[in-house]
Amino acid sequence: MDIVNTPYWVSEYMQVLFGYFFLMFLWPMVVFAGHLRGKSKIYRFSFCAVAQPVLVNTVVLGFGLIHILNRWTVCAFFYGILAAVLYRRSKLSGRKVLSFHDWMVAGGIRPLVVRVGRWARNGLKRLWTEARPHLLEYLALGALLLYAMLYFSWGAFHSPGYGTSDMYVHHSWVNGLIEGKPFVDGIYPEAMHCFIYCQNMLFGTPIHSIMLFFGSIHTGAILLAAYALFRELFRWKYSPIFALLLFLIIKTPVGDAMAGVSRLQWTLPQEFGMTGLFLCPLFVMKYVKCSYDPREEGTIPRRFVNPELFLFIMALAQTITAHFYATIMAFYLCLGIGIFYLKKIFSREKFFPLAGAVLCGLFLATAPMLGALASGVPFQGSIGWALNVMKGEEAETPPQEGEIEEQPGILETAKDVLQKCWAKMQNVYFRYTGLYGAKVGEVFFKTCAAVLAFCLLTWLILPRLPAWCRGRIEETRIGTVSIQGYLPMLSAAMLCLLAQAAKSIGLMELVDSVRLCVTEEMLSAAVIVIPLDIMLTLASTFCEDEIQQAVSYLCMGAIMAIVVGTGNYHFFLYYFPSRYPTEVETLTSIINQYERKAYTIVAPTDDIWQVSGYGWHEELQKFVEGVREERYTLPSEHIFIFVEKKPLRYSNWHTFQGPAWLAQESEGDVTIWKEGGLAVISQEAAQKAIPKRANLFSLYKDLDTRTIIESKAYYWCQRFSELYPSEMKIYYEDEVFVCYYFQQEPHSPYNLAIDYE
């Protein structure tokens, strides 16, 4: 077989993409079409991106808590509601049908199909009518999203295994839902697990494939959410695209910055909550800006029943149901932006509805968790840690290097205070430049300072200019955008930067600095684009829209040319693989070729998640110890034994390679598939005893122990092949991995306990 069966994984990717689009966007747009009718495109996208995950989470966990969670109930809910809505809109629901058989014979299904097709066709026409005036803008945005999804999914096609060990944990929680058990490892936000579970139930797509591609597909929704926020903060409509383009193609150095960006390619809960992270501040702004005529208020004032306030509730709930880090980061953005709307936020008309919305979002998100807690389910370990931090029981952060520890009873001089503040400011500056490297970071930092100075000067000087000059400038709304757009953007970026550098300046680190990198990089890229937005905004007073759009495309080309020409084009991302690509491909081939539950895979723990639900799994460590007993059998008909001839080291980087137009190869490229840097099985290692470890993961994680286990398995296979040469076969082999195979009678299995040392 090929090392990577690209056509197969492309087909799996398309299945995952279709399932994601159907469940995230198509289903709510059809079911809630009445609510979405007449709303803006950003509102419709936001509704799907935050309300639908909350709905899926509530339904799945609700079914689980009352013990009716299975494929039938999930399909009945989602397919049943969709079918009922389509049937009702087909305008056939009022027909008297005495006999379903008579209705079918009379041609009842044909009018239904015709009407649904006509409805879909009219919907596409309306969509084209709405999109046509903004066609060039949407083409640029669409090209950006396609590029991002390709870039972040490249690793999954290159190495179709999980890129980080966290994905195995989340796969196990999805398996718990398949067994009808929510919160299988304790109470923890499960929105992502519920969404993946529903995709599997509705379309039958393997969990392994969904986990492999879901993160890179959802990155498109994250970018759209950031686009929606930037669209509110910028004046020129192409400026958000400039910011996202700069974020995508600018080089991030190896370290925390690249680790943060690499997380977007993996299927992880925090990244699933990043749509709500960007939409929370957006709809807070929209809510505090809107005003209604009291004469139009009905029994319940519209400030309490408000579309923007509703989406804020959903966005807040979505972050909580996805990951608490996402909620904390959303708070940072809301705080940074909300500073400039304090008067409106704390007004009588806005404060109480907004406070009530926060409580509603908290209740909506935590209701399933509270139900599980009432039924006796404990908190997951990380939740307990978070509660201890909030109680103040966590150990205090020790002084960082270069900091001056405060001594009780000693008054610091003004010089000491200034030196201490300067040292902390330097720590923040170094953290910022660490996102892009020293040279680029310095340019970005100076640009941010210049933008801040411009906004403050505009704020202070514009009201004092002569009327004729002020009127001319105010036509461009530069003053308004500076206060309501540029300064909030700068404030949010600075607050996230302080949160990211919290540990280095002596503050409590509520969010791991790596987790904040992507949010900070997006905000920084947006701030860098502000000068371009100012120029295009000023040009709008004397340039036609068509000319500005052409200039915008030239600006996108200039951004790419400058980034690539200065050697700052981004690198390919990396994985922390725990399996060789050929091992993944071999197991995929077995799953597709053999009947369910007719085979057993003897392999390390990492393979259990892919084979779960299809075949049986036997731990390699248990196998090599079991064959030393008097009798040891495996009852299935087909037995496959996976052996790494060059055992793989855990937590080892593997950077990808690919076409130069997609990315450049990383400096100091590390490719662990090559021969260098890997252990080798040997007869000597097979003679050693397996050390005692606390758990299986620590056994396989230690390279020496893993080499001992793999060596024992290899030489057992050699001995079994000598005893049964006609039975033992090689299913697949290359220079680093081999899969042995034999067939047996399930009712009379081989005794695998043989002496091989």
**What's the pLDDT score for residue 405?**
44
Give the model confidence (pLDDT) of 499-510 as tens digits: 888 887 777 888
Tens-digit pLDDT profile for residues 329-380:
999 999 999 898 888 899 888 899 899 999 999 999 999 999 998 988 888 7
pLDDT at 385: 54
**DSSP H or E run through 416:** helix 414-433
Predicted pLDDT at 58: 96
Please name the residue that has the structure tokens 């926060």. Answer: 358
Residue with tokens 């009022």: 94
Residue 27 near residue 53, CB atoms below 8 Å: no
Rg of the chain (C-alpha set): 29
Residues in the chain with pLDDT values less than 70? 1-4, 90-112, 115-116, 292-305, 382-415, 417-418, 460, 462-479, 667-678, 694, 756-757
Q: What is the DSSP string of 323-361?
A: -HHHHHHHHHHHHHHHGGGHHHHTSHHHHHHHHHHHHHH
pLDDT tens readout for residues 588-628: 999 999 999 999 999 998 899 899 889 999 999 999 999 98
Structure token pair of residue 304: 């309490």
Give me the sign of the Cα torsion angle 335, 341, 346, 348: negative
Element (H, E) at 619: strand 616-619
φ, ψ (nearest 5 deg) of residue 273: -90, 0
pLDDT, tens digit (0-9, with 9 covering 90-100), for 53-106: 999 999 999 999 999 999 999 999 999 999 988 878 765 545 544 455 555 555
Residue 46: name the closest of 328, 403, 308 by CA: 308
Give the pLDDT confidence of 435-448 residue by residue, as tens digits. 887 788 888 888 88
* Cα 326 versus chain centre, distance: 11
Q: Looking at residue 415, what is its pLDDT? A: 65
Residue position matching structure tokens 């319940």: 300
Give 294's DSSP letter.
G
Q: What percent of the chain has pLDDT over 90?
A: 48
pLDDT of 615: 93
Is residue 704 packed enough to be buried (19+ CB in 10 Å), middle (13-18) or exposed (0-12)?
exposed
Domain spans of the chain? 432-573, 581-743
How far, in Å, CA of 702 to CA of 649, rounded? 8
Distance CA 700, CA 647 (A): 9
Query: With helix as H, strand as E and coil as C, how does 491-538 read?
Result: HHHHHHHHHHCCHHHCCCCCCCHHHHHHHHHHHHHHHHHHHHHHHHHH
Nearest to 607 by CA among 702, 700, 715, 727: 700
**pLDDT value, residue 213:** 96
